[in-house]
Amino acid sequence: MHIEVSGLYKKFGDFQAVTDVNFEIEKGQLIGLLGPSGGGKTSILRMLAGLESVDKGDIVFHGKRVNDLPPQERGIGFVFQNYALFKHMTVEGNIAFGLEVKKWSKAKIKDRVAELVELTGLSGFEKRYPHQLSGGQRQRVAFARALAPEPQLLLLDEPFAAIDAKIRHELRSWLRDMIDRLGITSIFVTHDQDEAIEVADQIMIINKGRLEQKGTPWEIYKNPQSPFVAEFIGESTIVEDASSLRGFGNASDWPGTKALIRPEYVEVGKPSDFKLLSATESGRVRHVHFRGSEWLVEVEVGSTRLVTYRSLEKEIVHPGDEVQVLIHRAYLFNNNDSWIMENKLKEDPMPVHI
Amino acid sequence: MRRLWIGLTVVLFGLLLIVPVVRIIMGAFNEGWRGFSDGLSRPETLHALFVTSMIVVIVTVVNTVFGVMMSLYLVRATWLGKRIKQLLNSIVDLPFAVSPVIGGLMIVLLLGPETALGALFNSAGVDIVYAIPGMIIATLFVTFPLIVREVMPVLQEIGNAQEEAASTLGASAWTTFWRVTWPSIQWSVVYGVVLTVARSLGEFGAVLVVSGNILFKTQTATTLVYQDVENFNLTAANSIALVLAAGSVTLLLFMEWAKSRREVH
């Protein structure tokens, strides 16, 4: 289903939950609504579902304005955060519910339920009640129930929030495969950036009720369009005075410019590790954390503290070590503008061409 | 010390509960089975029991329907402002706070024969006060909070996610209520119904004020017991009291069962 949202506003009492949100979604895409808790993601999702009224703006499905349609008539499937399974119905009963209210024939319902049970890997659990299932199984029942009436749009509200880390990972890729196979337009809400980056075709970053940026995970990572997005995606450090960093001296042309530096922009090592020593400055290692697949190194340069990753293959650094620090690039921003700047000293001032 | 407390508790329990029941049984049968059956088969007893059961049935049906609806509105309605909900919520408890006699008196003052409203109904051929309708209203007033107070917490606890899920699956409000909400609240409703039956069976103060206790017309089982005691007709009074007590004990046992069902579901 093709979805178009324009000028969407929503207020709860005095709280402005959603402000001027505009976006368009192509058919068959999987979209992640990402942002901090309380940022308005769920409100947007609920307005798409018709569970919340719209204050201002238009929601258009397939060229048809649906603002005034109740949820029953929108042709959507909704997976709730805590699944909201009908607790007095069995797995089968839950999946069949939407078909029964749509007055499908008994035989058709039976076939469709069997198909979905198969699809979601719930065979053998048809007669169980929700309280007899694990979190992951409940999630799949909720998914099957939402899909049963063949909706055109699937909405998922924090679908993995209540599941433990290991199974969450499995379920994520399972969901991705499933949605790819069905080709159904889907939107899910999450506050977990890894989840959004891993699963979504496109991410929409929502903050304080506004859509900050929409794009593929890579676009958003590579080219954040606002300081909020830059800071929200990935781990990063903010340096108050960008021009104090070595190689970024000309940032002082724009007074009041701050720098946001991601761990992967920073490299630490011994002086012999760098080709152009002049682009580095010396710092001292403050802390080293083992992250399972890499080291997370906190290093202090002057009064700024930067964070970087270090491969386990490289020589181990210890707190207190003197190291050379190279900042490859920085994301600079001030009140009016933001841009990415490369380290000016990294280019060899006297290149030798042979 | 501990034994003393246990002993005191047992004595108090006995004095308050066991002794009166034994006393009623003895009183009912002090003239043998004959006195008991005579006391019950008097025309006024049969009429009073009929009036009582009629009131119980009507009040229970009305309060069940409106109690459940009231709970749904107080918990779920988004079109009611928060303030109005709070106000309504406290008004629901009014009958708990006000003495039933005062409740009855309010009805007399509002709908009595001398009032404008009462006269209006009277000219239409309907008597409210000193007639069955007034007694039903009085009993409705006294029992109204019982079902609301049982059902509301359950509705709050289950939340509206299941109902929202049903609506996204295409179910109408009516279907959602019967297939999703009702199974969750049914045992609380049963529990509330039992309490309502018990309360309306035993209601005395409000009914006495409103009914005028007119023989063969507005006399209920409880007001008949009162009158029999006044007339020193103790065997009959004890017999009716025993029937009422037996009814209450049955309800209590049923209530325990309903409670256990509610905990399972």
Q: How many CA atoms lie within 13 A of B44 on its CB side?
A: 16
Summarize pLDDT for B178-213 with one digit per residue, the tens: 999 999 999 899 999 999 999 999 899 999 999 888
Interface of A with B in 223-262 (CB under 8 A): none
Residue A205 is assigned to a structural domain of this protein: yes
Residue A93 is assigned to a structural domain of this protein: yes
Q: What pLDDT band is residue A349 in, cutting at 50, 70 and 90?
A: low
**% chain A with pLDDT above 70:** 98
Query: What residue of B is the nearest CA neighbor of A153?
Result: B168
Binary contact (A88, B162; C-beta < 8 A) = no
pLDDT > 90? residue A303? no
Q: Are residues A131 and A74 in the same domain?
A: yes
Of the candidates B172, B184, B265, the beta carbon closest to that of A72 is on B172
Residue A353 is assigned to a structural domain of this protein: no
The DSSP result for B122-161, as a single string, is: HHTT---TTSHHHHHHHHHHHHHHHHHHHHHHHHHHH-SH
Question: What's residue A202's pLDDT?
Answer: 93
Q: What is the mean pLDDT of residues A85-107?
A: 94
Q: Are residues A157 and A276 in the same domain?
A: no
A71 touches chain B (CB under 8 A): yes
Q: Which domain-ending residue is among A212, A231, A250?
A: A231
Taking contacts as CB-CB distances below 8 angstroms, the residues of chain A near B265 are: 88
Q: Considering only CA atoms, which of B184, B180, B174 is closest in space to residue A97?
A: B180
Question: What's residue A351's pLDDT?
Answer: 58
Summarize pLDDT for A182-209 with one digit per residue, the tens: 889 999 999 888 888 888 999 999 999 9
Distance from CA of A295 to the nearest CA of B (A): 43
Residue B49 is assigned to a structural domain of this protein: yes
Q: Considering only CA atoms, which of B86, B76, B55 is closest in space to residue B201?
A: B55
Number of domains in chain A: 2
Distance from CA of B67 to the nearest CA of A (A): 23
Taking one residue from A and the other from B, the number of pairs with CB-CB distance under 8 angstroms is 63
Do A189 and A161 contact (CB within 8 A), yes or no?
Answer: no
Q: Are residues A59 and A203 in the same domain?
A: yes
Of the candidates A82, A88, A102, the beta carbon closest to that of B161 is on A82
CATH number, domain of A251, equals 2.40.50.140
Q: Are residues A126 and A112 in the same domain?
A: yes
Q: Are residues A32 and A130 in the same domain?
A: yes
Question: What's residue A45's pLDDT?
Answer: 94
Residue A198 is assigned to a structural domain of this protein: yes
Structure tokens at A352: 């030798």
Sheet holding A258-261, edge to edge: A237-239, A258-261, A329-333, A338-342
Q: Are residues A56 and A18 in the same domain?
A: yes
| Test the B interface: residue of A45, A69, A78 with most B CBs within 10 Å | A78
- Domain interval for residue B232: 31-264
Measured between alpha carbons, how far is A84 from A162 in angstroms, rounded to an integer?
12
pLDDT per residue rounded down to tens, chain B (265 residues): 889 999 999 999 999 988 988 999 998 898 888 889 988 999 999 999 999 999 999 999 999 999 999 999 999 887 888 888 889 888 999 998 889 999 999 999 988 888 888 888 888 888 888 899 999 999 999 999 999 999 999 999 999 999 999 999 999 999 999 999 999 999 899 999 999 999 999 899 999 999 888 888 899 999 999 999 999 988 999 999 999 999 988 998 988 887 787 665 5
Alpha-carbon distance values, B123 to B69, B120, B137 (Å): 33, 5, 19
Query: What residue of A is the nearest CA neighbor of B173?
Result: A72
The DSSP result for B102-119, as a single string, is: HHHHHHHHHHSTTSHHHH
Measured between alpha carbons, how far is A33 from A156 in angstroms, rounded to an integer?
10
Q: Angle at CA B217, nearest 5°, toward B215 and B218?
A: 90
Residue B50 is assigned to a structural domain of this protein: yes
Question: What's residue B265's pLDDT?
Answer: 54
Q: Considering only CA atoms, which of A286, A274, A291, A254 is closest in space to residue A346?
A: A274
Measured between alpha carbons, how far is B205 from B109 in angstroms, rounded to an integer?
16
Binary contact (A76, B184; C-beta < 8 A) = no
Distance from CA of B150 to the nearest CA of A (A): 20
Q: What pLDDT band is residue A352 in, cutting at 50, 70 and 90?
A: low
Q: How many CA atoms lie within 13 A of A214 on its CB side?
A: 12
CATH number, domain of B176, equals 1.10.3720.10
Residue A62 is assigned to a structural domain of this protein: yes
Residue A303 is assigned to a structural domain of this protein: yes
Query: What residue of A is the nearest CA neighbor of B79?
Result: A53
Alpha-carbon distance values, A340 to A242, A330, B78 (Å): 12, 6, 48
Q: Which domain-ending residue is among A199, A231, A263?
A: A231
Binary contact (B162, A145; C-beta < 8 A) = no
Q: Are residues A36 and A184 in the same domain?
A: yes
Of the candidates B175, B184, B265, the beta carbon closest to that of A101 is on B175
Q: Are residues A183 and A214 in the same domain?
A: yes
Alpha-carbon distance values, A316 to A263, A274, A345, B176 (Å): 17, 17, 27, 62
As a whole number of angstroms, the longest Cα–Cα distance in chain A is 81
Q: Which domain-ending residue is among A210, A231, A252?
A: A231
A290 touches chain B (CB under 8 A): no
Question: What's residue B145's pLDDT?
Answer: 94
Q: What 3-state class would DSSP assign to B177?
A: helix
> Is pLDDT larger for residue A132 or for residue B126?
A132
Binary contact (B168, A77; C-beta < 8 A) = yes
Residues in chain B: 265
A145 touches chain B (CB under 8 A): yes
pLDDT > 80? residue A251? no
Q: Are residues A138 and A163 in the same domain?
A: yes
The DSSP H or E segment spanning A166 is helix A165-182
Q: What 3-state class would DSSP assign to A74?
A: coil
- This model of the complex carries an ipTM of 0.80
Query: What residue of A is the nearest CA neighbor of B169?
Result: A98
Taking contacts as CB-CB distances below 8 angstroms, the residues of chain B near A85 are: 162, 165
- Read off the DSSP letter of residue A39: S
Residue A92 is assigned to a structural domain of this protein: yes
- Using a CB–CB cut-off of 8 Å, the residues of B that contact A are 161-162, 164-172, 175, 179-180, 183-184, 265
- E-state strands within A102-201: 153-157, 185-190
Q: Are residues A140 and A189 in the same domain?
A: yes
Please name the residue that has the structure tokens 């603002």.
A67
Question: What's residue A177's pLDDT?
Answer: 87
B62 CA to centre of own chain: 11
Residue B15 is assigned to a structural domain of this protein: no
Binary contact (A98, B170; C-beta < 8 A) = yes
CATH number, domain of A96, equals 3.40.50.300
Number of domains in chain B: 1
Do A276 and A318 contact (CB within 8 A), yes or no?
Answer: no
Q: Are residues A73 and A105 in the same domain?
A: yes
Question: What's residue A138's pLDDT?
Answer: 92
Of the candidates A72, A86, A145, the beta carbon closest to that of B167 is on A72
> Chain-wide mean pLDDT for chain A?
87
Q: Angle at CA B6, nearest 5°, toward B5 and B8?
A: 60
- Domain interval for residue A226: 3-231
Strand duo A237-239 + A202-207: pairing = unpaired
Measured between alpha carbons, how far is B105 from B206 in angstroms, rounded to an integer?
7
Structure tokens at B64: 């069940």
Residue A60 is assigned to a structural domain of this protein: yes
pLDDT > 60? residue A354? no
Taking contacts as CB-CB distances below 8 angstroms, the residues of chain A near B175 are: 101
Q: Are residues A25 and A82 in the same domain?
A: yes
Summarize pLDDT for A8-63 with one digit per residue, the tens: 999 988 899 999 999 999 988 999 999 988 889 999 999 999 999 999 999 999 88
